[in-house]
Structure 1
């Protein structure tokens, strides 16, 4: 019997792709991890905070973490906003939903997260020139499964998430963490 990686069909498909790529990154530093394991417990041990996020991936090679933010009790977990916990500090929204994050990953740009914000930066010489084979496979997979393409700038989707939910997010997280 095949056991699903998560209760999120999109993440299950992504895990299948990640396993098929056998160690190649689909996007710089992005790697799925055990779904829902509370790796954010160093920020607060309040049960409401721990249950409020469902971690699912490393966001970069230095340990930042993506998590679904349980903004409400919706059953479609893929429609939940995406938060990132920074390895240098800070907790921020990066996307309104999982499909927006999938589009951001299609840009293959490193995300930096600190107390000041989250930003998909430009590469300065250390990046593979045209992306790895894993990334090219990911772009085809994204088009095939979801008819999605990369945005012109992944930070546009960060700004949209912040504009729509930023105040609510900061208010909620601020109950548990000094921002």
Structure 2
């Protein structure tokens, strides 16, 4: 079993069955492999215990993680965050089910200190396995996000302030705040 999230296990099976990208820049790696994702400076056990990295978010090394914002035992119900490879970290989905349609938009996420967003030109080609992924989403009652900014805004309205308050002391400890 890849993870305790059944739909993420199904996504991993789909991901492993194709040689093409399911979504632009998205690559699944080891579930909860903290050594791969976080720099050594951020080795505080309290910090690491609240984040579950699971995928690369774009071609430059940004990554997706689940934030243990509460003691919720169903990890799929926790918010999804993105950490930018050049800095910036943001809540992007209220839970894993909200996250999947963002991937269906089929655009790399851009992350900076002030925002995270998906941008796609009308004439951009889709990833090689995009249609297979869209079919997979629909089998689960989901559709690709037509307005990813709205999904991110909804998640940030609920979680952004708490996430910022939680992460700031860890960054301050290593001199990043």
Query: Is 2:173 the partner of 1:175?
Result: no
1:54 to 52, 56, 63: 52
CA–CA separation in structure 2 for the residues paired with 1:74 and 1:119: 27
CA–CA separation in structure 1 for the residues paired with 2:28 and 2:84: 16
Query: Residues 124 and 88 from structure 1, CA distance in 2 versus in 1: closer, same or farther, beyond 3 angstroms?
Result: farther
Indicate if the aligned counterparts of 1:110 and 1:123 stay in contact, CA closer than 8 A: no
Once the two structures are TM-superposed, the CA of residue 58 in structure 1 deviates from its matched residue by 0.4
Indicate if the aligned counterparts of 1:109 and 1:123 stay in contact, CA closer than 8 A: no
Query: Is 2:26 the partner of 1:30?
Result: yes
Query: Is 2:121 the partner of 1:123?
Result: yes
User: Residues 1-179 of structure 1 correspond to what in structure 2 (within 5 A)?
Assistant: 4-21=1-18, 23-38=19-34, 39-42=37-40, 44-123=42-121, 127-128=124-125, 131-144=126-139, 146-177=140-171, 178-179=176-177
Which structure's residues are more often helix, by fraction?
2
Q: Please, what TM-score do these two structures have when normalized by structure 1?
A: 0.90
Indicate if the aligned counterparts of 1:70 and 1:80 stay in contact, CA closer than 8 A: yes
Over residues 120-144 of structure 1, what are the superposed CA-to-partner deviations in whole Å (9 max), with x where a residue is unaligned? Answer: 123387x42xx13411000001111
CA–CA separation in structure 2 for the residues paired with 1:138 and 1:7: 21
Further displaced range: 91-100 or 114-123: 114-123
RMSD: 1.5
* Partner secondary structure for residue 136 of structure 1: helix
* Partner secondary structure for residue 133 of structure 2: helix
CA–CA separation in structure 1 for the residues paired with 2:151 and 2:33: 26
Indicate if the aligned counterparts of 2:106 and 2:127 stay in contact, CA closer than 8 A: no
